[in-house]
Amino acid sequence: MKLAMRFLDIFHEDGSEYIIAPTGSCVAMVTTFYGMMSDMPTAYQEKLVDVQGRVREFTSFLVDVLHIDDVGAEFDARVTVHDSCHALRELGIKHQPRVLLNKVRGTTLVENDAAEQCCGFGGTFAVKYADISTAMTEEKIDAIIRCGADVVTGVDSSCLMQLHGALRRKTSVVRSMHIADILAAGAS
Amino acid sequence: MKHPIPLRPENMHELVAERVHDMQLRGNIKRAVDISLHKRADVVSDFGDWENMRKMAHAVKALVIDHLAHYLAMFESRAVAAGAIVHFASDAEEARTIVRGLIQDCNGRLVVKSKSMTTEEIELTHALEEAGITCIETDLGEYIVQLAGEIPSHITAPALHKNRREIGLLFSEKLSVPYTDDPKELSNIAREKLRAAFMEADVGISGVNFAIAESGTICIVENEGNARMSSTLPRMHIAVMGMEKLLPDFESLALFLEMLGRSATGQRLTAYTSLLTGARKPEENDGPESLHIVILDNGRSKMLRDPNLREALFCIRCGACMNVCPVYRSIGGHAYGSVYPGPIGSVISPIFHGEARAKAMPYASSLCGACSEICPVGIPLHHQLLSWRHTLVSHGHSRLSERLLMRMFLFMSKRTWRYDLAGAIARALAPLLSESGVPRVPVWSRTRDFPRIPKKSFKQLWKERENEHA
């Protein structure tokens, strides 16, 4: 909670219109989980409301706020999306990354049948229950490999780190990339 | 197969280690829960506005739980007026004593039980067997689990962890019948054994799915007819229910019956729905001579007072949260060591078993939220698991090493320069701790690769870029 208060101190009335994070779970931390901290001093409630109103996940900012779907990127690959849990269930982010990827030249979007299933990361869970965490990832990457994608992408770097780690260990050729890297590819 | 580690929540880490690499077990579980999930998806989509129904179900439960004393009193008075005898038990011990006393008072020797998680919660069978009373589980899944000397691994599908070959072997070993793995034949073998028990039993014990306050009626849903036989053939019927099982009226029952069958087994309605109001009346031909309803608290009023746990009392025990939980799918119910496994189990077990014993359970979740999303009554399960972690830490149930790590993380993150310095140290040390460029990280690297550490931080790259453009 001390770090939450520090975050609010830094970003409250910082002169910006929006606060953008390339990670769904970081945004959900602020919009959902800060609100669950019952011992947060009341003086911070106003700061919390201000910051919550301005914080956005990266793809949601592009699609929902700026109404951009084509960023002019070019990326030659079959790409599948992992719906990160907190982006999907706390923030309702599902179509935004797909809208953007559909407009990337050279990219073919393929769906895998476990897109909405957790990657197995879960923060400290990945270490506390490392075996369960990896078992969950195995089910996930089986679906990713099965769908024939070259690249798995998403809006959360921690999920992608988990998927990357398991894919490498399996010596799979499927790469994991953050969506920002795809959207930046080939852009002039 | 005998598992040497006792199924208790304090053994969770060992129980997980014993199972997580068992690909046969994982396969059995995934196959079973996927069938339930697919069937559920079919019957939910034909239902119309499911989300609206969830909101209504949540609202009905909120009404009941907010006025629980009122509805309990109404239920009790109407059930008594209809001829039932109502008992209140404040904990498991009291409930066991009441039930044992009732059976002993009528010289009962043989009990048939229909599936009930509440009786599992209070470990009733064990207590009755100790008193020399024979208990036979009559739900097929429970029967299998009882033969194997296990506890249910799922709240609606007790033997979900076993495939038909394992059940075939169990039957041939325990019942001295020729081996078969044909589900129909296996059911017939069980049916034959159970039919005799129904006819001979002195007492039938069941759970309760819903208790209707306006009429004092108890409702039991099932698919095998065994609950109906347990509650009507023996001369005494004892129904054990958690005190949260109340619904105000039949109108709300209609809604909950639609939601329970769909969520649990993907059925529009379960095969049997029994509505029991009092014992047999003089003019009636069948039913038990006496009906006893045991209403159990066992920590539920503690949940009622806790705003973080209160909504767990809305649970209708459908098991959908287990089916969809990626953790449950990977380890099965026994790995939790509690009769209530999975997301809802991890929320309520620390109440039943105590925080110290069940402290591993709220951490056995990636907090992905699939459970909250599927819950028919809208319990915010993953938020409750998170608040449990907060409670456990503030009650001192955390390891010193973990507290130190969190302290270090706080110290590092509180000042920008410290965070930058930590990053610089990590980048400098990475090559020393790496194998062909891939860092070796304790625990993590056992099962996964760690990403290569970049030479420069994002901040450095951003600064260089700005300088270039300047």
- Asked if B340 and B349 touch (Cβ cutoff 8 Å), the reply is yes
Does residue B11 lie in a domain region? no
B118 and B230 belong to one structural domain: yes
- Residue that the structure tokens 């779970």 belong to: A25
Contact A136 B330 (CB under 8 A): yes
Contact B367 A122 (CB under 8 A): yes
- Residue that the structure tokens 């020729």 belong to: B178
Q: Between β-strands B210-212 and B217-222, what pairing exists: parallel, antiparallel or unpaired?
A: antiparallel
Confidence of residue A39 (pLDDT cuts 50, 70, 90): confident
What does the pLDDT read at residue B75? 98
Whole-prediction pTM value?
A: 0.94
ipTM exceeding 0.90, yes/no: yes
* CB of A90 less than 8 A from some CB of B: yes
B271 and B416 belong to one structural domain: no
Question: Is the pLDDT assigned to residue B2 strictly greater than 70?
Answer: no
Q: Judged by CB atoms within 8 Å, which residues 17-46 of B form the interface with A?
A: 17, 20-21, 26, 30
Mean model confidence pLDDT for chain B = 95
Contact A116 B370 (CB under 8 A): yes
A74-184 maps to CATH 3.30.300:
no
Q: Of B250, B270, B298, which residue is a domain's last?
A: B298
B-chain CB neighbours of A117 within 8 Å are 326, 368, 370
Of A89, A131, A137, the CB nearest to B369: A89
- Residue that the structure tokens 């195995």 belong to: A138
* CB of B447 less than 8 A from some CB of A: yes
- Asked if B228 and B222 touch (Cβ cutoff 8 Å), the reply is yes
pLDDT digits (tens, 9 = 90+) for A119-153: 999 999 999 999 999 999 999 999 999 999 999 99
pLDDT digits (tens, 9 = 90+) for B222-251: 999 999 999 999 999 999 999 999 999 999
Does residue B447 lie in a domain region? yes
Mean pLDDT of B91-106: 97
Pinpoint the residues of chain A covered by CATH 3.40.50: 74-184
Give Cβ neighbours of residue B123 (< 8 Å, ≥ 6 apart): B92, B96
B288 and B422 belong to one structural domain: no
CA distance B410 to B422: 12
Does residue B140 lie in a domain region? yes
CA distance A148 to chain B (A): 22
B277 and B131 belong to one structural domain: yes
Return the CA Rg of chain A. Answer: 18
B288 and B405 belong to one structural domain: no
CA distance B146 to B8: 17
Residues B229/B233/B234/B235 CA torsion (nearest 10 deg): 140
* CB of A117 less than 8 A from some CB of B: yes
Does residue B214 lie in a domain region? yes
B174 and B60 belong to one structural domain: yes
Mean pLDDT of B416-433: 91
CA distance B359 to chain A (A): 13
Q: Of B237, B269, B298, which residue is a domain's last?
A: B298
A-chain CB neighbours of B465 within 8 Å are none
- Asked if A98 and A60 touch (Cβ cutoff 8 Å), the reply is no
Domain count, chain B: 2
- Residues of the domain holding B75: 47-298
Question: Is the pLDDT assigned to residue B61 strictly greater than 80?
Answer: yes
What does the pLDDT read at residue A187? 67
pLDDT digits (tens, 9 = 90+) for B157-201: 999 999 999 999 999 999 999 999 999 999 999 999 999 999 999
- The DSSP line for A127-165 is HHTHHHHHHHHHHHHHHHHHTT-SEEEES-HHHHHHHHH
Does residue B369 lie in a domain region? no
Q: Of B236, B264, B298, which residue is a domain's last?
A: B298
Does residue B309 lie in a domain region? no
Does residue B428 lie in a domain region? yes
- Percent of chain B as helix, strand, coil, to the nearest 5: 55, 10, 35
pLDDT digits (tens, 9 = 90+) for B351-372: 999 999 999 999 999 999 999 9
Q: Judged by CB atoms within 8 Å, which residues 40-59 of A form the interface with B?
A: none
Does residue B114 lie in a domain region? yes
Question: Is the pLDDT assigned to residue B3 strictly greater than 80?
Answer: no
pLDDT, greater one: B455 or B137: B137
The count of other CB atoms within 10 Å of the CB of residue A92 is 11
CA distance B20 to chain A (A): 7
* CB of B372 less than 8 A from some CB of A: yes
What does the pLDDT read at residue B442? 87
